[in-house]
Structure 1
Amino acid sequence: MSKRPGAAAPSIGPAHAAKVVVALVAVLALVGCGGSEEPAAPESSPPFADCATLTAPPPAAPQVTLPGQGDPLPDVALPCFTGGQEVEVSAIRGPAVLNLWGSWCGPCREELPAFQRFADRAAGKVTVIGVDIRDSRSAASSLAEELGVTYPNLFDPSERLRAKLGITALPATLFVDRDGRVRHVYNSTALDEAELATLAAQHLGVTLP
């Protein structure tokens, strides 16, 4: 029906006006966002160093002849915590110290700072390697960041290395010679830096200043 000349425009009720405003806000929001969601923030990277040098002796490691043979490291491949190719544990060359730990293990948490101080002190002579056991990446990364642990770590959530070694409790620390043979396994209370240095001298022939 046509509108008569001079007739008043129909009025818009409050309810209808509110619906119009809501519709306009929705349209403007879609235009401003381009119809896409905000990208999720990337996860922070773990604090550990990579594992590229674990299968070569430290550059300044002394040439030491040790008595006996020792047992070879187990034949198991574990992923580097920071990613990349898996590391064949049996290919690791020392002098090296492998510390099996988990964020859920009280003595492990206690001794981790000592391992970092020892790693800094022994850089170029002894390689310090962590093996994170039965853990989550987030829990291990969080603890390492809190304690300032940066030496390379392997990730072993299913405890394959622990089972191969026959170790039943953590923490446990392996002292490994240049040929990849285990010269000593320490499986007791938390170690401090002085005890680590003493064990490295006794079982790897490496004396630190």
Structure 2
Amino acid sequence: MGVRDWLGWPLFRQLGAGDPYGRGAAAKSSTSEHLTPRTQTAQKVVKSVCPYCAVGCGQNVYVSDDKVTQVEGDPDSPVSRGRLCPKGAASLQLTTGSARMHQVLHRRPNSTEWETLDLDTAMDMIADRVIATRRQGWQWEQNGVRTRRTMGIASLGGATLDNEENYLIKKLFTALGAVQIENQARV
């Protein structure tokens, strides 16, 4: 390794170029100088709230051709002041992740294969099953006490539900007569 090889190191480029903090030309390489930030190509920026917990951190969602290209913390947010936790920083994957399903999959009883269903058929199946389960498990009273509830339906929420969604879920399941309504917000 000769002196010329050493002079190509980033530290020497920083010091030699008068860029001691490595934020300018010294930080660029032949690969990185041709890259552009995903935020630069965005057509619009939409203000949003992180969906993962009840803190309500602000997000800037960068959109190009009606597709989300980047999610960053909103520096104007009084809650998070531009910062996001690891889950919030990874929320781009909620919309663009390769593992995200874009169709309804259904596995019939005793089957080992999944089949695709259209959304209307799946929603009708769910509604029919909720109505049937509610009727079968309905309790008007227990031990002489009026209960008006069903023990056949329960709800388990998760970390991607915000306060408003949890409020609506609680109202819906209470109206259905469900009493087991839980939330695990740390998952």
Q: Larger RCO: Structure 1 or Structure 2 (Cα < 8 Å, ≥ 6 residues apart)?
A: 1
Structure label with greater radius of gyration: 1
TM-score, reference length from structure 2: 0.25
TM-score, reference length from structure 1: 0.23
Could you say which structure has the higher strand fraction? 2
